[in-house]
Amino acid sequence: MGSVPLQRIGKLATATVALTAVSAAVSLLSVWASQAAQGDAEALLDGTISTDDFVERAAPYLLMSTVQGVMTLATAVVTIIWMYRIAKNHRTLHRGTTWGPGWAIGGWFLPPLLFIIPSLVFREMWKASDPDVPIGGDWKSGRVSPVVPLWFLLYSVIPIVLLVVQSASGFNLGASERDLAQQIIDDQQATVVGAVVAVAGAAAFIVLVRGLTARHRQLTGESATRA
């Protein structure tokens, strides 16, 4: 198998896990920032502090949204490259997958937010990475780890439900400072629930990445000591 131009995935998997863990930590920090800003939000609505003071004190809360966006983008880019390489290796090994390398990229955008295609890609990747199935063997009848549907539930389905609920209650981040203050107060419970779901989804994704990477590296013969 050494003469086959297989692509290495170890470093990408490590980066994906690290970025996912940091994103989960940022989600927890967002809860702290939201709770810290609640008192200032109430003070603004009561007229005991000025708008300028509120904006200054609420800066950590606003910063968390930006940091979360950056971390999400960085994690997505590394994850897509990692998945692309796995899908590419499967094609190189003549494992006739339905979801090819292109779907490792485009699947995240079709449809947006509801990650049905990435879930299907992960299911197929898990089976195709089975190191116990020889080249040309029947890998399609293999079992898929339960962490794949769990990840889909925590990372896609539940967050969409929370987003719909939050949207129904109004989203005023771009409105006036008083609207933002009211949003901070109203969204306390949603922020906590969202952070819990985000951390659980991150944990499931880390297990998925580590498990799939281990299977795939064993399949391709990638050294466990060199990423």
What is the rounded average pLDDT of the residues 110-130?
A: 93
Residue 65 has pLDDT above 90, yes or no: no
Q: Which of 93, 118, 90, 92 is nearest to 105 (CA)?
A: 118
Q: What is the pLDDT of residue 114?
A: 86
In this predicted model, which residue has the larger pLDDT, 110 or 15? 15
Cα–Cα distance for residue pair 126/151, rounded to 1 Å: 13
Cα–Cα distance for residue pair 126/141, rounded to 1 Å: 11
In this structure, which amino acid lies at residue 53? D
Q: What is the mean pLDDT of the chain?
A: 89
Cα–Cα distance for residue pair 82/216, rounded to 1 Å: 11
What is the rounded average pLDDT of the residues 194-216?
A: 96
Q: What is the pLDDT of residue 154?
A: 95
Cα–Cα distance for residue pair 126/220, rounded to 1 Å: 14
Structural contact between residues 113 and 160, judged by C-beta atoms closer than 8 angstroms: yes
Q: What is the pLDDT of residue 2?
A: 45
Cα–Cα distance for residue pair 142/96, rounded to 1 Å: 14
Structural contact between residues 126 and 148, judged by C-beta atoms closer than 8 angstroms: yes
Residue 227 has pLDDT above 50, yes or no: no
Residue 62 has pLDDT above 90, yes or no: no
Q: What is the pLDDT of residue 110?
A: 86
Cα–Cα distance for residue pair 98/95, rounded to 1 Å: 9
The token pair that represents 44 in the structure block = 């603004």
Q: Which of 130, 142, 129 is nearest to 89 (CA)?
A: 129
Residue 176: phi and psi, rounded to 5, are: -75, 170
Q: What is the pLDDT of residue 176?
A: 78
In this predicted model, which residue has the larger pLDDT, 196 or 135? 196
